[in-house]
Amino acid sequence: MNEDSIVFWTGINHIVSAIAPGQPVMHLSTVFNEKGGCAGTIEVRNCTLKPATLAYHVVVSNETISLDEAYTYRNDSVVSYFGTPQSSRGGDDYYGGLHLALQEMFSSSVGISFATFMRTATKGVTALRYQRPLKITNSESLDCGYQWLDPTDDLVAAIREITFRMAFKASGTDVESQVMQAERQAIEVVYRSDYVFLGLSLILIWSSAVAVVPLMLKWWRLGRQMSLSPIEIARAFAARELVSGSGSNSSASELMKEVGSRELRYGEVDVVSGGGQDAVPTVTALAFAHPTVVREPRKGAAY
């Protein structure tokens, strides 16, 4: 690719420090153009990543552990830096696997070529995540109609998450035990008695019970034991078809023996007025009666 201008680039290099032998160092470099357009300012950011013991803010819930989302890498504190054992090739490949993985995940570039004609060449998916379209004017090329946002904070946060998981996984091996301070938060259901509301509730309950007592007074004047059975109530209110022919002073059990097997149907019946042989139907009503005299209610009729 004959590139005349790089407008976006992310990459990670892995070296061993010459100042502190055995100290591996990774360099994260980002190039971006947040203003976009054919003419703009290219910004460059470089971050140095060193192996160290860090103090994180973590959240432990049930059987899982994760980084606290309320904090970022800026809130982490370094406990100590450390080197790595020398390998057969001088320590260069101790973090090689991590470097290759990060390089594969985050390496990306966008170049604009001004050779024969203007064209844009993109490598890697990271560039597409931070590419945003701009409003194009007639004097600008379509290839200049984008801006590329700063990916540095996101990439450092992703690397932080990956290395935290690697360190946590490694902690399951035989390593020296550490004393750590932890804070546990839990939600518990706590009940507290409010005796004022309890007293008011009891007063209302007992007041309702006392208010019903007068309704039950003088029941013994009926001369027999009685109940609130629907059968007895129907007889008391002269439900003629249901309890006709039964004793007016019959108990619920006696009424059931006399009328318990009667067939009834609810529907339209003729109610007569007057008495004697000259009685004629004068009113149609809805009521319970023997199925032979009950008609199906008529739609729209008023009773």
Q: What pLDDT, on the 0 to 100 scale, is given for residue 1?
A: 41
> Is residue 177 a part of any domain in this protein?
no
The range of the structural domain enclosing residue 220 comes to 195-262
Q: How confident is the model over 81-93, as a mean pLDDT?
A: 56
What the block records as the tokens of 70 is 């309320």
The whole-chain average pLDDT of the chain stands at 77
Q: Are 29 and 141 contained in the same domain?
A: yes
Would you tell me how many other CB atoms lie within 10 Å of the CB of residue 105? 17
Q: Are 240 and 99 contained in the same domain?
A: no
Q: Is pLDDT at 126 greater than 70 in this prediction?
A: yes
> Is residue 185 a part of any domain in this protein?
no
Q: What pLDDT, on the 0 to 100 scale, is given for residue 200?
A: 94
Q: Measure the CA–CA gap between 35 and 147, rounded to whole angstroms.
A: 6
Q: Are 27 and 104 contained in the same domain?
A: yes
pLDDT bucket at 90, cuts 50 / 70 / 90: very low
Percent of the chain with pLDDT over 90: 10
Instruction: Choose between 256 and 40: higher pLDDT.
Output: 256
Q: Are 165 and 201 contained in the same domain?
A: no
Q: Are 226 and 104 contained in the same domain?
A: no
**Residue range 96-106, pLDDT digits in tens:** 788 888 888 88
> Is residue 180 a part of any domain in this protein?
no
Q: Are 50 and 9 contained in the same domain?
A: yes
Residue labelled with tokens 């809805």: 286
Domain boundary among 247, 262, 277: 262
Q: Are 112 and 159 contained in the same domain?
A: yes
Distances (CA, A) of 86 to 14, 16, 38, 204: 15, 11, 48, 83
| Total domains present in the chain | 2
> Is residue 287 a part of any domain in this protein?
no
Q: Measure the CA–CA gap between 90 and 144, rounded to whole angstroms.
A: 46
> Is residue 298 a part of any domain in this protein?
no
Q: Are 76 and 112 contained in the same domain?
A: yes
Q: What pLDDT, on the 0 to 100 scale, is given for residue 2?
A: 46
Q: Are 77 and 226 contained in the same domain?
A: no
> Is residue 124 a part of any domain in this protein?
yes
Instruction: Choose between 246 and 149: higher pLDDT.
Output: 149
Q: What pLDDT, on the 0 to 100 scale, is given for residue 154?
A: 92
Q: Are 23 and 74 contained in the same domain?
A: yes
Q: Are 22 and 101 contained in the same domain?
A: yes
**What are the beta bridge partners of residue 29?**
11, 46
Q: Are 29 and 146 contained in the same domain?
A: yes
> Is residue 48 a part of any domain in this protein?
yes
80-84, 189-193, 280-284: which is most confident: 189-193
Q: What pLDDT, on the 0 to 100 scale, is given for residue 179?
A: 76
> Is residue 179 a part of any domain in this protein?
no
Q: What pLDDT, on the 0 to 100 scale, is given for residue 3?
A: 47
Would you tell me how many other CB atoms lie within 10 Å of the CB of residue 127? 21
Q: Is pLDDT at 92 greater than 60 in this prediction?
A: no
**Residue range 185-225, pLDDT digits in tens:** 778 888 888 899 999 999 999 999 999 888 777 767 666 67
Torsion angle defined by CA atoms of residues 3, 9, 10 and 12, in that order, rounded to the nearest 10 degrees:
40
